[in-house]
Amino acid sequence: MYLASIHVTLKKSVLDPQGVTVKGALESLGFRTVSDVRVGKYFQVSLGAESEEAARAMVLDMCKKLLANPVIEQFDFDLEPGGAAK
């Protein structure tokens, strides 16, 4: 079993209205050095695979097909043996 930790965020070129609003709220709380906030999604996917390489290929495929929309989003992930969500 493997555990994939996947981050999906809006591309740099896409304005993130949620991030802008959270940044404003942080500033109003006194966090005046905050220069940027991006809000994204975090997935923990436990999966079975024959090798780390096979698991990596599968996670890449699920990101491209479903977890991220390539028009507006980018993704990255870490993979570790184990498989139980933390």
Partner 1 sequence: MKWGVVVFPGSNCDRDTLWALGDELAQDASFIWHQEKSVEGYDAIVLPGGFSYGDYLRTGAIARFSPVMEAVEEFAQRGGLVLGICNGFQILLEAGLLPGAMLRNSSLQFRCHFLHIRVENEKTPFTLACKKGEVLRVPIAHNEGNYYADDATISSLAANGQIVFRYCDEHGAVTPEANPNGSMDSIAGICNEAGNVLGMMPHPERCSEAVLSSSDGAKIFRSAIKFWERG
Residue ranges in contact with partner 1 by CB under 8 A: 10, 13-15, 17-18, 21, 66-67, 69, 71-72
Q: How many angstroms separate the CA atoms of 67 and 60, rounded?
A: 10
Q: How many C-beta atoms lie closer than 10 Å to residue 72's C-beta? A: 13
Q: CA-to-CA distance for 36 and 40, rounded, in angstroms? A: 13
Residue 71: CB minimum distance to partner 1, A? 4
Closest approach, Cβ 59 to partner 1, in A, equals 16
- Nearest residue (CB) to partner 1, 17 versus 48: 17
Neighbours of 71 (CB within 10 A): 7
CB closer to partner 1, 31 vs 41: 41
How near is the Cβ of 21 to partner 1 at its closest, in Å? 6
